[in-house]
Chain A
Amino acid sequence: MNWLPLWLTCGLLTFAVRYSFIALEGHYRPPGWFIRWLPFVPIAALTALVAPEVLLVAGKLSLDIDNLHLWAALVAIAVAARWRNTLLTIASGFVTLGLLRWLV
């Protein structure tokens, strides 16, 4: 496999996306609807990444008791909502997953 050109292409593409508006600042003002979309982007994009990871087991929706990732994620969500602490949120998710594996 010719990986170096592929890595460089993907790297340049990633960089171009991250550099885009930083480079354009002062030369171009994005439209109003775009500005209003901004605050929703990390929320929508990251939730789209997380939801399938915790709601699906082998590609199928699972709300079963043995979908341990789901229950551990719900604990982490509750901890995040209550304390807004990154370390506590991640630790609570791992500890809950460990406990559930030991119990179930």
Chain B
Amino acid sequence: MREEVLNPAAAFLLGVRALLPMLLGVAPFGVIYGVVALQSGIPPLAAVLMSSLVFAGSAQFLLAQLIGAGAPALLSIGAVGLINLRHALYSASVAPVLHNLPRRWKVLLAYLLTDEAYAAAIPHLLAAPKSPVAHWILFGSGLALWAGWQLSTLAGVLIGAQLPADLGLDFALPLTFIAIVVPLIESRARLIAALTAGAVAVLLVALPYKTGLFVAALAGLSAGAFFQSRGKP
């Protein structure tokens, strides 16, 4: 890696620093989650506890909406599983870096493995996969996001109801994901994956309980992988 990372503290701070800019988008989304959770009839304490027990922004948001719509529990669980499936691929991606760590580290870092923490840490992990302190980078990003998410969802539950409704805070998550995705689009195959996933998600938006999102993601990555394999001799 470009930065000389020799000790755990430096690696941890590198991870924290890489994550901090994302809090500009994550914090408003956390506030919005708090507001939506209360509007869905979830008690304040339960809304706050969901942030540490489930700890998955878009899944928490979806779960709150489904509860508000009176969806059955089993269906809500299935929807949360589907929307979080993408994390299995983050898991596969960081697995080689964490291979030799004790189990307590693997459990902790798996709990902290979010879109944002993964996106912030992965360029540094790829640059130094053999570094004995590489996992501290992921820990720094993961913990920084965790703290930001807990504080912002707590703020949403406590003061969210007093905020004006038209602040545009609901735009925060799309902006955060744009900031993550666009720099990843380095080839035509990746562009095709994004365009396909976006188009299918829009076409299938009427499917119940957001199942269209899962089909769209699958269509996008299939299209990207197909295009890439065709382009090679």
Contact = CB atoms under 8 A, between A and B. Distances in A.
Interface in A18-62: 18-26, 30, 33-56, 59, 61
Contacts of B25: 90
Q: Say what secondary structure dominates the interface of chain A.
A: helix
Given A47-B201, A51-B199, A17 B91 contact: yes
Given A22-B94, A22-B98, A81-B182, A48 B197 contact: yes
B49 A22 contact: no
Nearest to B227: A40
B196 A11 contact: no
Contacts of A35: 92
A14 B80 contact: yes
Interface string B183-213: 1110001100111111111100110000001
B35 interface: no
A55 B205 CA distance: 11
Given A41-B217, A47-B201, A52-B201, A13 B178 contact: no
Contact of B220 (A44, A76, A86): A44
A8 interface: yes
A45 B90 CA distance: 12
A6 interface: yes
Contacts of B115: 42, 46
B6 interface: no
B143 to A, nearest CB: 15
B154 interface: no
B175 A94 contact: yes
B225 A42 contact: no
B228 to A, nearest CB: 7
A19 B228 contact: no
B15 interface: no
Interface residues of B, number: 90
Interface in B157-197: 166, 168, 171-185, 189-190, 193-197
B22 A6 contact: no
Nearest to B78: A13
Interface residues of A, number: 68
Interface string B207-233: 000000100111111101100110000
Interface of B: 21-22, 24-25, 41-43, 46, 49-50, 53-56, 58-59, 63, 67, 73, 76-77, 80-81, 84-96, 98-99, 106-107, 109-111, 113, 115, 118-119, 166, 168, 171-185, 189-190, 193-202, 205-206, 213, 216-222, 224-225, 228-229
28 contacts: A10-B59, A10-B80, A11-B54, A13-B77, A13-B84, A14-B87, A17-B81, A17-B85, A18-B90, A19-B110, A20-B92, A22-B106, A38-B89, A38-B93, A40-B189, A40-B221, A42-B118, A43-B181, A44-B216, A44-B219, A46-B181, A47-B193, A47-B220, A48-B200, A49-B173, A51-B197, A52-B202, A53-B173
